[in-house]
Amino acid sequence: PTRPMCPRSATRPPSPTPAKWLMWSGRVCESGDYLAKGRALPRTKRGDLLAVFTAGAYGFAEELSTGKDTPSGHWEMTGVPVLHEWGYFRKPVQTFPEALLAQLISEGRLPGVLGNCHASGTEIIARLGEEHVRTGKPIVYTSADSVFQIACHEEAFGLERLIDLCQVARKLVDEYRIARVIARPFVGTNAADFQRTGNRHDYAVPPPAATVLDKLVASGGEVVGIGKIPDIFAHRGISREVPAHGNEALFDATLAALDAAPDRSIVFTNFVDFDTLYGHRRDTAGYARALEQFDARLPALLAKLRADDIVILSADHGCDPTWPGSDHTREHIPVLAYGGGIAAGSLGRRSTFADIGQSLASFFGLPAMDYGTGFLA
């Protein structure tokens, strides 16, 4: 195999060993309640991980993008901040333009729609799911983000039909500058047991410029997108897609992908449970348990690292479970980096998430990104 192209400087010679790079994208929570209530993250606080990150680099980053949504955060992390304003559906009820819904009903051959409001995804299927099953009308709703969401029962309405409908909606919302259309399938027999499934699909517009993922793939490298990562990047700059749902399955897939990843590769995983199950639902105790479970699995990853591998833990936005409401929260994100000769110490306050993408461009010897300042030695 070819050797990796690592950053070259007077303080860091070219590495003689193969390199892979792994990035985790989770969600950041401001609350420290999980510690106050007797929760413990032993590998994060002491022992193995303390040894790692006192030998690694740590800091936090501000968001340059105008939004606090999933695409904006991920794209900025890979070197492309979103400097334009997304479109939003701001009215809490009777939310969507009549013309948009009329087109959706016509092109989707629907008897009508339900919802048409701002809502929590779990609340709205409990409230309208039975009527949806009875009438065949999809549930359409949004949030504070630039998003158009459609919830339908996998069996009563049909998963493939829902996917087809979302593809229709994707075309229709382009004129409104909407970042994502999301298919939200659910199962169950009544309001008491309706639950969303892992067959969610996101239909995003592509990033407005080449990300570091695009540049690596174009140079002959590999990008493994795990979970929702391919959807977030509109399947661009991704050479291999690995479906997985839930933090445990995502971690399993990450470890397997790391084992198989060739030289000059990125393994990119979004641990979605922190956002979907605990952040949006404002479940602080659940968030705490998920942090403990994530923490317990870190040694398995650390044991797989080779001398020139790099691990970066970060986030694309906040979703504080202690904050009022159910939407994302705009916060600084953590930037933790280890491996590959990274100098230990504080990275301080970074002015953009794009510092991560710029660092990766340097690491792989790629052309510099337009935004960001690298932090690798």
Of 11 and 113, which is predicted with more confidence? 113
What mean pLDDT do residues 200-208 have?
94
SS3 at position 72? helix
Chain segment 71-112, per-residue pLDDT in tens: 999 999 999 999 999 999 999 999 999 999 999 999 999 999
DSSP secondary structure of 12-56: BPPPSS--EEEEEEEEE----HHHHTT---HHHHSHHHHHHHHSS
Of 26 and 254, which is predicted with more confidence? 254
Beta-sheet strand order (sheet of 240-242): 240-242, 222-226, 265-270, 20-28, 310-318, 333-339, 57-61, 345-350
Report which secondary-structure segment, H or E, holds 224: strand 222-226
Confidence of residue 280 (pLDDT cuts 50, 70, 90): confident
Confidence of residue 25 (pLDDT cuts 50, 70, 90): very low
Return d(Cα 175, Cα 178) in angstroms, integer: 8
pLDDT of residue 9: 27
Report which secondary-structure segment, H or E, holds 153: strand 147-153
In the DSSP assignment, the letter for residue 245 is -
What mean pLDDT do residues 167-194 have?
97
pLDDT of residue 307: 84
Chain segment 104-155, per-residue pLDDT in tens: 999 999 999 999 999 999 999 999 999 999 999 999 999 988 999 999 999 9
Amino acid (1-letter code) at residue 78: T
pLDDT at 259 exceeding the cut of 50: yes
Lowest mean pLDDT of 78-82, 132-136, 164-168, 329-333, name the range: 329-333
Confidence of residue 47 (pLDDT cuts 50, 70, 90): very low
pLDDT at 37 exceeding the cut of 90: no
Return d(Cα 132, Cα 113) in angstroms, integer: 8
Domains and CATH numbers, the chain: 20-84+208-363 (3.40.720.10), 98-204 (3.30.70.1250)
pLDDT of residue 210: 98
For the chain, the average pLDDT equals 87
The first and second tokens of residue 228, run together, are: 């929702």
Return d(Cα 237, Cα 63) in angstroms, integer: 22
What mean pLDDT do residues 307-325 have?
90
Q: Answer positive or negative: Cα dihedral of 118, 121, 122, 124.
A: positive
pLDDT of residue 27: 40
pLDDT of residue 223: 97
In this structure, the number of other CB atoms found within 10 A of the CB of residue 194 comes to 21
